[in-house]
Structure 1
Amino acid sequence: MKFIPELESGILIKRYKRFLADIMLANGEQITIHCPNTGSMKNCLFPGETVWFSTSDNPKRKYAHTWELMQTDQQHLIGINTGRANALAEDAIKRQVISELLGYEHLKREVKYGSENSRIDILLTSPNRADCYIEVKSCTLLEQHIGYFPDAVTTRGQKHLRELMHMVTLGHRAVLLFVVQHSGITTVQPARHIDPQYADLLQQAMEHGVEVLAYKTALSPQASSITDSCNVVV
């Protein structure tokens, strides 16, 4: 997935009001950019380090710039824009990078499903084959060389696990796909120390037949794309 035009850079000053961040450009100008991340961004904020942002030509937007990448003090890159995860997953499926999801003829996004008024991120279908419901999660929290999800208590994430288990009960295939948007993460596991209920539900979901996958993303200011799988430890 190429960034067109390429991302521009600045230095992070601070994130505030959840959806805003102030950065300093190379010419000394300070600007405010949109932060498209609803999570806590735990261990993803490094004031004084480089950020990369995209620019929209939509005149109706209050903030034309969107925060895309963060560089850590250890020179790792993090994908800040969690909204990119679904597009990255779709691109990887179409490029046949995710071996577990090969062989489906049709792909749809944001399809209503389940019993709790949900929308599935990706639905794969083929004649004479069980439908495959895929919930995509962006994993960016790195602690002691391990990637954790979630970075804050997530009742929405808990609901999605229940919905996936329900799909298995109905005879469908259900997949939880972690898109790892942190170059330092090689293993993913549930953040029991942050959301123990989510960790318990994930264990229950796997025992119920929900498949759990994790794939790393190659990140750069020019392009981002899912590359290869990484370990999931539950």
Structure 2
Amino acid sequence: MIIYPEVHLARFIKRPNRFIAECQLIDSGEIVTVHVKNTGRCKELLFPDTEVALSYQASEKRKTDYDLIAVKKVEEWINIDSQVPNQLASEGLLEKKILLPGLAGEICSLKREQKFGNSKFDILVETDQGEQAFVEVKGMTLENNEIGAFPDAPTIRGLKHVEELIKAKKIGYQCYVLFIIQFEKVKTATIHEKMQPSLAEAISLGQKAGVHVLAYSCQVSPATIDIQKQIPFELNQEFEDPNR
């Protein structure tokens, strides 16, 4: 579980650019400029007057004192911190909350940011039976009708990672794409094909080559996020973009 320090509730006002937003603290009424911990569009989440969660992390090295970490959508909190999925994935794998199908033996080593070809994969695990596996982690915050989808904007980096995983699989690594769904109420996860057809095609080729695609939902509160359970990943699931 990840627990954020000193969390305050606020109302979203506007987002001048992808890095910062202006919010009004509910307890004091003060208007503050905050760092948005997600460079994605989040257009379906960040509406004026929406309730948000801010973590106070003041430092002389920072330009803002607060991080915007979560957004309330109807009655559900959605974590939008793009740095949190890798940490949750690492903890989940070591604590056996996340299981990798087809992997022989028990995980005895986990390394972050491991280079392969022209990419760096998020995680490399090794087992006590000598098997090695790359795990590429992707955070998922886009939702509609309890269907989670990735991406909310085209990702060249994400496409390259899938293509590199296929190459790694061919030379003997076990390979996984792991979606960390940063909200709770979700029935299935999929690729937003209309947003990026090339990524959907690459995922399909990857699955045929033996790359596993997994999705896990999370329990989210304003101040916490933790792995909840595995969710079915269905590449052919229809998804209606709430932003269109």
TM-score bracket relative to the smaller structure: over 0.9
Alpha-carbon distance between aligned partners in 1 of 2:44 and 2:121, rounded to the nearest angstrom: 28
**Unaligned residue ranges in structure 1 (runs of 5+):** none
Aligned-partner SS, 1:232? coil
Contact 2:106–2:128 under 8 Å retained in 1: no
In structure 2, stretches of 5+ residues that fail to align are 236-244
Residues 116-131 of structure 1: pairs in structure 2 closer than 5 A? 116=118, 118-131=119-132
1:105 alignment partner, one of 84, 103, 108: 108
| Contact 2:123/2:136 (<8 A) preserved | yes
Mapped contact 2:106–2:129 kept (Cα < 8 A): no
The offset of 1:95, in angstroms, is 1.6
**Structure 1 84/55 Cα, relative in aligned 2: closer, same or farther at 3 Å?**
same
> Over residues 137-177 of structure 1, what are the superposed CA-to-partner deviations in whole Å (9 max), with x where a residue is unaligned?
01111123311111111111100101111110110000000
**Could you state the TM-score of these two structures normalised by the residue count of structure 1?**
0.93
Q: Which residue of 1 aligns with 2:82?
A: 82
| C-alpha distance in structure 1 between counterparts of 2:234 and 2:54, whole Å | 33
**Paired letter, 2:195:** I
Task: Using the TM superposition, give the Cα deviation of residue 97 of structure 1 relative to its aligned residue in structure 2, in angstroms.
Answer: 0.6
Q: CA deviation at 1:62?
A: 0.7
Counterpart in the other structure of 2:172: 171
Q: Which moved more, 1:202-211 or 1:50-59?
A: 50-59
CA contact under 8 A between 1:42 and 1:151: conserved in structure 2? no
Q: Cα–Cα, structure 1 residues 29 and 191, in superposed 2: closer, same or farther, change >3 Å?
A: same
Aligned partner letter, 1:99: L
Q: Which residue of 2 aligns with 1:69?
A: 70
CA distance in 1, matches of 2:39, 2:79: 13
Q: What is the CA-CA distance between 1:6 and the residue it aligns to?
A: 4.1
1:9 & 1:91 partners in 2: Cα distance?
27
CA distance in 1, matches of 2:152, 2:106: 33
- TM-score scaled to structure 2, two decimals? 0.90
Matched AA of 1:109: R
Separation of aligned partners in 2, 1:6 and 1:213: 32
**What SS does the aligned partner of 1:99 have?**
coil
1:21 paired with 2:30, answer: no
Contact 2:189 2:232 in 1 (8 A): yes
Change (3 A) 1:220 1:31: same
Contact 1:46 1:71 in 2 (8 A): no
- Give the length in aligned residue pairs: 231
Counterpart residue number, 1:180: 181
Is 1:3 the counterpart of 2:6 in the alignment?
Answer: no
Deviation at 1:127, TM superposition (A): 4.5
RMSD, aligned α-carbons: 1.5
- With over 3 angstroms needed to count, the CA separation of the structure-2 counterparts of 1:93 and 1:127, relative to structure 1, is closer
The residue type equivalent to 2:113 in the other structure is: E
Is the 2:53–2:223 contact (alpha carbons within 8 Å) kept by the matching residues of 1?
Answer: no
Amino acid in the other structure paired with 1:96: K
Deviations 1:87-136 (A, max 9, x none): 111111122111327711011111111x22x2111110135432110000
2:95 counterpart residue number? 95
